[in-house]
Amino acid sequence: MIDKQLDIIRQPRLKIIETLNAFSLDQLNKIPSGFNNNIIWNLGHMIAAQQGVCYKRAGLNTWIDDDFFDAYKPDSKPAGPVSQDEYDNIKTLLTTSIDQLEHDYKNGIFENYPTWTTRYGVQMSNIDEAIAFLPFHEGLHIGYIMAMRKLV
């Protein structure tokens, strides 16, 4: 079952990367009027949120560095344009972070997952519920990306 749940996260991530291949780095960095972030920030946020929801909430270290997490955590905003190298890293992390989550899940590292409630009113008390929440959250941000791509 976990394989299917993670594939539900992985496949849209791969599709959005494919969709964005037609865009320049300048377009991906542009903050459209009416928005407070950009396409790249939304991609990075999906990674940071997954790390926060799954690892930090379980009292574990993330697989991304603190600077990356801080740049894309909830309530953050783009500090400036992202370089091509940084964008390439984000594209890589979109897949490798899910692969790592699968590995860690299968190795049982999420044993001490405390109950907490998201800003959307969803209560989670274990890693399975956290993983089940991720497609909802990522769907919101993919929706923002799809809207932004028409404005950049």
Q: Mean of the pLDDT values across residues 90-100?
A: 96
Domain residue spans of the chain: 2-121
Interval 20-76: pLDDT, tens: 999 999 999 999 999 999 999 999 999 999 999 999 999 999 999 999 999 999 999
Rg (CA), the chain: 15
| C-beta of residue 101 within 8 angstroms of C-beta of residue 64 | no
- DSSP states along 89-145: HHHHHHHHHHHHHHHHHHTT-------EE-TTS-EE-SHHHHHHHHHHHHHHHHHHH
**Looking at residue 137, what is its pLDDT?**
96
Interval 98-128: pLDDT, tens: 999 999 999 999 999 999 999 999 999 999 9
Task: Indicate the burial class of 33 (C-beta count within 10 angstroms; 0-12, 13-18, 19 or more).
Answer: exposed
Tell which wins on pLDDT, 101 or 1: 101
Task: Indicate the burial class of 22 (C-beta count within 10 angstroms; 0-12, 13-18, 19 or more).
Answer: exposed
Q: What's the whole-model pTM score?
A: 0.94
Which pair of tokens denotes residue 127? 């890693």
